Structure 1
Amino acid sequence: MTTYPVAAVKVSHDVLGVLADRGEAGVTEVAAALDVPKSTAHDHLRTLERVGSVVNESGRYRLSMQHLHFGKIARNNNELFVRGRDEALSLSAAVGDRKYVQLVTEENGRCAVVLATRWQRENLPSQATRIYPTHVPLHTNAPGKAILASMNSGDVERILGGQGLKRRTPATITDEDELLLELDCIREEGYATDDGELIAGMAGVAAPIVTDADVHGAIAVYSASEEFEADRDDSPVVDMVRDAADEIQANLIFAHD
């Protein structure tokens, strides 16, 4: 069981998670979701309100725009975003309106999406009813697997051992031996794929972005599954993704020369 140096901070974090999942919630709902006393939920919500993290509207709490401010600061200070944004936008223009481009890095053993083009609710397929998941386990998607394949074996073992292989869809890889074999294929081919492993009905291709011993992240293209060729090796998107990854890699190298 995971322990935390300041347990109360974890509770506040979980409160924010409930609000993020539900959009808004009252004290009773938060308490029930976290299995804590109503007084505990109330104290955390009131404290979060006073520091500006949540907004209280007639007893219903929601996240404040402060989180958007913090997120933009974190993104704008991320080197992969700074050095890869233009290439990602160029790739987005090249692949067309029916595909989405993502820049993804790794944070605390999970994917962190720093850029996702055209991922507006009105453009999503019917099965994707929420915004793009931005913090998910690495094994559940193409950019995450590309990142894992570029890490040393010790880091891979640490991440998989700490998080396990949780299932998101029926297609998600949950067997460690199967995943390790796929990581070997990704290293050989230079790209990773996702066939409905993160979101049912969506497919993706990703290439890692690595300089020397540093794994910066990956760039990916996603779309509805029927938009991709059945054989990824025959898809021009694969070469476009790998070329974009090479360009971002060069940007990162030259930035430090």
Structure 2
Amino acid sequence: METENRDAGEYRIDAVATSFEVVRGVLELGTCGVRELAAHLDIPKSTVHVHLTTLEDLGYVINRQGTYQLSYRFLEIGGQVRHQAEIYQVTRDEIDELARETGHVATAGIEENGYRVMLFRTEPSGSVFNNAPTGEYTRMHWTSVGKALLATRSTEEVTSIVDRRGLPRATKRTITEREKLHEELETIREQGYAIEDEERVLGVKAVAVPIESDDDLPDAAISVAGPKHELDPDRVHEEVLPALRNVANVVELRARHY
């Protein structure tokens, strides 16, 4: 049954919220039965079953003899959303070239709702890396792309994001204090690039630079990431940063004339 609750001046349909909670639960479990999902979400089995059945009828959930998983309809939707994004159109070829030039994973990301969204990534043949999927939502302060994007925001905007999303720890090297985050963002503004030094995944280092875009495009940043021992300071400054800055310049130029 649909209900409408007044929340912060806007209407909220509880049934829709529950359906997305069910979708998220299936995603987290991979495959699951009704009982397992109900326990995972702490929702009555009857409620879970109704939402799963509806999602199955709509083609967003696959039911294989009582075991449920998400369908590739979500891939279709995500692919279309990304394809329609102008920033994706002007960065994808350059990110491919960046990966070939550096021999490491290259990514482009944006901020949405206080999270870093991986818009696009290219992993060159033979590279060894953690395979974070395209479209992944990640805490801003965990990644070089996220910090590069935060550094383009005002102190008030950064504070708002931290208030909403917090500063949870991913590794022992993650920044978890507001003062330290603001200090690092000021350093990023001065030097023009951000470093992720095992702050999200131990052993992984990344370097990112922001993309300056017109008001019509969302703020974006691009990065190169790989094993920490392969991205020593000399290589970062002599090879990786020049490559990143060159791509950023090309993308900015293409964005202005897209």
TM-score, normalized by length of structure 2? Answer: 0.89
* Aligned match of 1:227: 230
Aligned residues: 248
Flag the 1:179–1:133 CA change in 2: closer, same or farther, 3 A.
Answer: farther
**Which of 145, 152, 156 is the matching residue for 1:150?**
152
Q: Does 1:67 align with 2:79?
A: no
Q: CA deviation at 1:22?
A: 2.1
* Aligned match of 1:107: 112
Decide which moves more: 16-25 or 233-242.
233-242
Q: Does 1:136 align with 2:143?
A: no
Q: Which amino acid aligns with 1:205?
A: V
- Contact persistence 1:150–1:210 (CA under 8 A): no
Name the CA distance, whole Å, in 2 between partners of 1:115 and 1:196: 21
Name the CA distance, whole Å, in 2 between partners of 1:174 and 1:119: 32
**Which of 194, 200, 203 is the matching residue for 2:202?**
200
- Contact persistence 2:119–2:134 (CA under 8 A): no
Per-residue deviation, residues 6-44 of structure 1 (Å, max 9, x unmatched): 222222212212222222111111111111111111111
Gaps of 5+ in 1: none
Q: Which amino acid aligns with 1:113?
A: M
SS at match of 1:194: strand
Q: CA deviation at 1:50?
A: 1.0
* Aligned match of 1:46: 53
Name the CA distance, whole Å, in 2 between partners of 1:56 and 1:211: 44
Q: Which amino acid aligns with 2:248?
A: A
Name the CA distance, whole Å, in 2 between partners of 1:178 and 1:106: 21
Q: Does 1:181 align with 2:183?
A: yes
- Contact persistence 1:191–1:242 (CA under 8 A): no
Name the CA distance, whole Å, in 2 between partners of 1:189 and 1:235: 15
Q: Which amino acid aligns with 1:252?
A: A
Per-residue deviation, residues 172-214 of structure 1 (Å, max 9, x unmatched): 1110110011110111111101011122221100000122566
Q: Which amino acid aligns with 1:63?
A: L
Q: CA deviation at 1:133?
A: 7.4
**Which of 86, 95, 100 is the matching residue for 1:93?**
100
SS at match of 2:167: coil
Gaps of 5+ in 2: 1-6
Q: Does 1:190 align with 2:197?
A: no
Name the CA distance, whole Å, in 1 between partners of 2:235 and 2:161: 28
Flag the 1:241–1:129 CA change in 2: closer, same or farther, 3 A.
Answer: closer
- Contact persistence 2:119–2:135 (CA under 8 A): no
Decide which moves more: 82-91 or 15-24.
15-24
Q: Does 1:26 align with 2:28?
A: no
Q: Does 1:55 align with 2:57?
A: no
TM-score, normalized by length of structure 1? Answer: 0.89
Name the CA distance, whole Å, in 2 between partners of 1:172 and 1:6: 37
* Aligned match of 2:4: none
Per-residue deviation, residues 50-91 of structure 1 (Å, max 9, x unmatched): 111110001110010100100110110111110111111111
Per-residue deviation, residues 97-143 of structure 1 (Å, max 9, x unmatched): xx1000101111111111111289x9545xx4764671011111000
Q: Does 1:79 align with 2:86?
A: yes
- Contact persistence 1:196–1:203 (CA under 8 A): yes
Name the CA distance, whole Å, in 2 between partners of 1:63 and 1:212: 37
Decide which moves more: 169-178 or 147-156.
147-156
Over aligned residues, Cα RMSD in angstroms?
2.2
Q: Which amino acid aligns with 1:241?
A: L
Flag the 1:119–1:64 CA change in 2: closer, same or farther, 3 A.
Answer: farther
Q: Which amino acid aligns with 1:102?
A: T
* Aligned match of 1:116: 121
